[in-house]
């Protein structure tokens, strides 16, 4: 049985003060949550403060990106050492906004995934098709390349640690959610690719989150699908009650 994982991707929202307020509100409901892995991914500037708020709880902290390099002349980048110093456990890698606006490619995402695993951080590797891909009937082809290239040369044993997030780009922040059947279909497809790449045991173990306008009202149906193992939540993660509503649906 795969344990569900619900992660809040706060994106470029929340000052330190606001982040502390939100983390405290989430902590009221979820400090002792054992049924679901709960992860908060604030912007880099608020990670320390959020880590301090949740330090004595079961809530995990994640980052929204990480450098593929250890240290050195990489202006604007943040390393694994810096994140681990702040008790970060998960790193979101290859989010569609990073692919789209900052031209991150599968090659670099793969380098980051390898670095994160080598340093005992858990990557949340995002994949997903754009609207034109779906309308052109290319969803599977696009997602397959992202999975095969992004997870290239990752050993089977690592699939208990890493998480895949399927996020159809047309559903992110748009209020348009994939239907549970559409999402389930792609999740099962992704699990099949993992099986082909590294075997049935890893495919059975890997957790695949859905992301894209997940809200408390659609979460129960999405999370009841056999291959949907959690959610990567943007907008609804910025409100403690909504985020709690989604986590509750995963319990």
Asked about 167 being catalytic, the answer comes back as: yes
Instruction: Point out which residues pair with 124 in neighbouring strands.
Output: 92, 163
Interface with ligand PGA includes 234 (CB under 6 A)? yes
Instruction: Choose the catalytic residue: 95, 97, 104, 129.
Output: 95
Interface with ligand PGA includes 42 (CB under 6 A)? no
User: Token pair of 200, please?
Assistant: 């049935």
Interface with ligand PGA includes 30 (CB under 6 A)? no
Residue 150 · residue 109 · CB < 8 Å = yes
State the minimum distance, in angstroms, from the CB of residue 94 to ligand PGA.
11
Interface with ligand PGA includes 233 (CB under 6 A)? yes
Interface with ligand PGA includes 128 (CB under 6 A)? no
State the minimum distance, in angstroms, from the CB of residue 18 to ligand PGA.
17
CB atoms within 10 A of CB 145: 12
Site for ligand PGA in 144-173 (CB under 6 A): 167, 172-173
Helices 139-150 and 106-118 sit at what angle, rounded to 10 degrees? Answer: 40
Binding mask 183-212 for ligand PGA (x = CB under 6 A): ----------------------------xx
CB atoms within 10 A of CB 58: 13
Among 42, 94, 150, 235, binds ligand PGA (CB under 6 A): 235
Interface with ligand PGA includes 250 (CB under 6 A)? no
Asked about 187 being catalytic, the answer comes back as: no
User: Token pair of 206, please?
Assistant: 């890997």
**With CB under 6 A, what is the number of residues at the site for ligand PGA?**
13
Residue 247 · residue 231 · CB < 8 Å = no
Going 33 to 34 to 36 to 40, the CA torsion angle's sign is positive
Residue nearest to ligand PGA (CB): 234
Residues 6+ apart with CB under 8 A from 100: 169
CB of 68 or CB of 242, closer to ligand PGA: 242
Closest CA to 240 of 16, 43, 92, 20: 20
Q: Classify 244 as helix, strand or coil.
A: helix
Instruction: Choose the catalytic residue: 97, 104, 129, 167.
Output: 167
Longest CA pairwise span in the chain (Å): 49
State the minimum distance, in angstroms, from the CB of residue 200 to ligand PGA.
29
Among 9, 64, 65, 242, binds ligand PGA (CB under 6 A): 9
CA 102 to chain centre: 18
DSSP 8-state class, residue 238: G
CB of 13 or CB of 138, closer to ligand PGA: 13
Helices 44-54 and 16-30 sit at what angle, rounded to 10 degrees? Answer: 30
Interface residues toward ligand PGA, by CB under 6 A: 9, 167, 172-173, 211-214, 232-236
Q: Which residues are catalytic?
A: 95, 167
């Amino acid at each position: 049985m795969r344990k569900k994982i619900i992660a809040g991707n706060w994106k470029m929202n929340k000052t330190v003060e606001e982040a502390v307020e939100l983390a405290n509100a989430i902590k009221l409901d979820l400090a002792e949550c054992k049924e679901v892995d709960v992860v908060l991914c604030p912007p880099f500037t608020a990670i320390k403060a959020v880590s301090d708020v949740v330090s004595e709880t079961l809530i995990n902290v994640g980052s929204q990106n990480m450098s593929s390099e250890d240290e050195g002349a990489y202006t604007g980048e943040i390393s694994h050492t810096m994140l681990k110093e702040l008790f970060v456990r998960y790193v979101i890698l290859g989010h569609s906004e990073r692919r789209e606006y900052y031209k991150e490619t599968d090659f670099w995402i793969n380098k980051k995934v390898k670095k994160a695993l080598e340093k005992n951080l858990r990557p949340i590797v995002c994949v997903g098709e754009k609207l034109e891909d779906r309308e052109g009937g290319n969803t599977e082809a696009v997602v397959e390349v992202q999975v095969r290239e992004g997870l290239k040369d990752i050993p089977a044993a690592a699939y208990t640690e890493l998480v895949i997030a399927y996020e159809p780009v047309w559903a992110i922040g748009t209020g348009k959610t994939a239907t549970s059947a559409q999402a389930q279909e792609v999740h099962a497809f992704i699990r099949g690719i993992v099986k082909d790449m590294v075997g049935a045991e890893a495919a059975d173990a890997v957790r695949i989150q859905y992301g894209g306008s997940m809200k408390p009202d659609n979460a129960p149906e999405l999370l009841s699908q056999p291959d949907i193992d959690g959610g990567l939540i943007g907008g609804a993660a910025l409100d403690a009650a909504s985020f709690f509503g989604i986590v509750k649906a995963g319990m």
